[in-house]
A and B are shown apart, each in its own frame.
Chain A
Amino acid sequence: MPVQLADLLQRSDVWQGNQLAAPEGGIVSSGFALLDAQLPGGGWPRGVLIELLVASPGGGEVSFLLPALRQLDATAPFAVVAPPAKVHAPAWASHFPLRQLLQVDAKGEEVPWCVELLLGCGALGAVLAWLPSNLGVKALRRLQLAVEGRRTLAFMFRPLSCARNSSPAPYRLAVRGGRVGLQVEIFKRRGPPCEQTLVLPVERPVPWGRLAPHESSPYPRSGTKAHLTVVSK
């Protein structure tokens, strides 16, 4: 049977080089209009491996996901697998009912095994996993296969040094903390390459703009208390 090109282009898993694909499993808005415009379908895709490459933890990479996580169904829990430090309950409790959070402590080889099981069961709203830096392509492909067709958001945190290695994850983003906002670079998406670096106003402990401009010496002008200390000396 001959296949019409027009029909073929209607398929959700086929897209043209200059367009963004429409994800199959549905999307969850990232909460940042600037980012949504660059993500195929207008948000985080469900059932797809999303790699977040982080230089060092603490730049705002978790706060970056908060708007999306808040939209999840309250009955679908999300898992935090092998976090880089101890989970501090009061911080999480101010964003979600803690009932939704499941922490999995695993080390080394066990991390991909846990993540594969959690992604494969399909009962979780999201999985936030900190993968070991030496994880191979094969293991990542297993994870992608496990999550395919599920309704889970799969956020995989990896060190920025992994950016040079190839990865089967359909989405790869580099995330860096910054003075004016979180800098997000989209390395890979189902669509044309994205050249711009997005600067997003993720939630921070102090409002944006409280930071002194980079050029000047920051210390004497920071907090009032700090200023007083200097004067008293």
Chain B
Amino acid sequence: MNALWLALWFHRLPVEVFEASEEPAVTTVQHCVVSGNQAADELGITAGMRLSGALGIAPDLRIHERSLARETTTMEGLACWLGNFSPHVSVSSPDFLLLLEIGGCLRLFNGLKTLCKRLSDGVQAQGFSIHMAVAPTPMAAQWFARAGQKGCLQPEHLKSYLAVLPVEVMSLSSAERSVLASFGIRFMHELMALPRAGIARRLGVDFSQRLDQALGETPDFRTPFVFPETFLQKLELPAKVESSSMLLFATRRLLASLSGWLAARSSGINECTLWLTHERQPPTRLILAFSGATRDVERMERVTRERLAHFEIPAPVTDIALEVKESVELPGQTAGLFAESSAGSLEPVIERLRARLGQEAIHGISVREDYRPECATRYVAAAREKFLRSGPPRPFWLLPKPLPIQEREGRLFHEGLLERVAGPERIESGWWDGSLMDRQAGSDASPAVARGGSGIADVRRDYYVAFHEDGRWLWIFRDTEGWWLHGLFA
């Protein structure tokens, strides 16, 4: 297996750390343009231009003072995200390059083409623009990316592909640039034609070593990116944000790097915390909970979207942060030998439902050992297997509150005539819940409501199965207050 390096050059990073907008925007240092976005490029605003000149071209230009701190954290976040693709990630911070060893993971991603597609889609979703290139050596990959070329796969072709690149791709220092200019050298093939010893003498050993490393003649060791032990990433928002859709876009960057961080550690999370920092208010804490351990970025995004859509942002948000307290081991899945299609999974659906309807809206049910019907059902997150011993008949539906039944001349009426067909079954239980009943009675003035209505305290009832003349089967009971309709045999 040959080593293959993929270089990603985030050539607009200084401006894209601030915003990903269609409007022309630039980053400046001391009134000099450092980098502009695509819209600015199209207007002819280039790096090195004076800010006054740029404003002359585009009066409504958005200007950001360059922030090295932001660039560093963004590069770290992106390196984390690349953990999704390969464990060998290396960062070359000053020139916004990320290197990825992909020789070992091409099979996993069904070839280079799909891998590149996924990378560029992911980068686009996070609002960055890149140049991507592959080469057998990291240095060459880096140069191809800077030249905006795709690179080459075979080591034997490397020299001829490199030959046509301009020498600027080597990220030259000003001294090196002037020496090369004095030689009249503009392209790599001119440089490669010169004797190597002479180059080393005139331009330094370091320079000639870079050339050797690019050609694979000298080993090139890259310091691997060390994935942090805990995940806490902050993102300063370019402007105060009040809408949840804007917030979702910003969160997407954090979620992407979270998923890569998890992949590199082969773990997943059950929940994470999203912190929203406001200007003059304590930060808001949003917990994103998943129904099972995951590191799937789409799943995390869906939950975030539903969560944010039903959340009222209390005040404009200035910063957001994503924090993981606890991660659990989640090994990757072995791909099938044949293209087996897996059945849909329920968990992501449950998460979406919970995110929109609330955590309690989706639940399993379980039986509690209590004779009182109101207390026999318990809502649980996940029910365990439990068969009930066969016993007297029980209805599928229980009314939230028993409804009164009228008794006239020994006959029972509730929207029609009732006929008792089985019973009675005496249920007498719950005397120990007396305090509970007092509280219930206290809140509800009428004792009839406390007993027949909520009835979760001491009960003494005779239950019957009744047949309603309209064809319904009902569960009714009599207590000291009279007759009550309590359940439906659906």
B partners with A: yes
Judge if B431 is at the interface, Cβ distance under 8 Å.
no
When A91-B396, A123-B349 are in contact, do A61 and B490 touch as well, CB less than 8 Å? yes
Given contacts A63-B490, A99-B383, whether A176 and B367 have CB atoms under 8 Å apart is no
B349 touches A222 (CB 8 A): no
Q: Cβ of A164: which chain B residues have Cβ within 8 Å of it? A: none
Can you name 16 A-B pairs with beta carbons within 8 Å? A86-B397, A86-B400, A88-B395, A90-B376, A93-B387, A94-B387, A98-B365, A104-B361, A105-B360, A106-B357, A178-B471, A179-B471, A222-B419, A223-B420, A223-B422, A225-B462
CB of A5 within 8 A of chain B? no
Q: Which residues of A contact B395 (CB under 8 A)?
A: 88, 91, 205
Residues of B near any A CB (own CB < 8 A): 343-346, 348-350, 352-353, 356-357, 360-368, 373, 376-379, 382-388, 390-391, 393-400, 410-411, 417, 419-424, 462, 464-465, 467-468, 470-475, 487-490
In the complex, the answer to whether A114 meets B353 with C-beta atoms within 8 Å is yes
How many inter-chain residue pairs (CB < 8 Å) link A and B? 206
**B360 CB contacts on chain A under 8 angstroms:** 105
A94 to chain B, nearest CB (A): 5
Q: Is the beta-carbon distance between B410 and A88 smaller than 8 angstroms?
A: no
Closest to A117 in B: B349
| Residues 193-219 of A at the B interface (beta carbon under 8 Å) | 204-206, 210-212, 218-219
Residues of A within 8 A of B343 (CB): 122-123
Residues in chain A near residue B349, CB distance under 8 A: 117-118, 120-121, 123
Known: A105-B357, A150-B344, A206-B393. 4 other contacts (CB 8 A): A87-B396, A90-B376, A118-B349, A124-B346
Chain B residues within 8 Å of A101, by CB: 364-365, 383
A37 at the interface (CB under 8 A from B): no
Binary CB contact string for chain A from 93 to 112 against chain B (1 if under 8 A, 0 otherwise): 11001110111111000100
- Contacts A117-B352, A124-B346, A219-B419 given; indicate if A87 touches B394 (C-beta within 8 A): no
Q: Is the CB of A123 within 8 A of B346?
A: yes
Select one of A61, A87, A205 contacting B365, CB under 8 A. A87
In contact, B474 and A98 (Cβ under 8 angstroms)? no
Cβ-neighbour of A85 out of B383, B400, B417, B472 (below 8 A): B400
- What's the Cα separation between A51 and B300 when bound, in Å? 35
In the bound complex, how far is the Cα of B393 from the Cα of A91, in angstroms? 8
What residue in chain B is nearest A118 (Cβ atoms)? B349
Closest to B368 in A: A89
Distance in Å: Cβ of A223 to nearest Cβ of chain B: 5
Among A94, A110, A150, the most chain B Cβ lie within 10 Å of the Cβ of A94
In this complex, the member of A57, A58, A103 whose beta carbon has the largest number of chain B beta carbons within 10 angstroms is A58
Contact assessment for A58 and B473 in the assembled complex, using a CB-CB cutoff below 8 Å: yes
Q: Once the chains bind, are A63 and B489 in contact (CB under 8 Å)?
A: yes
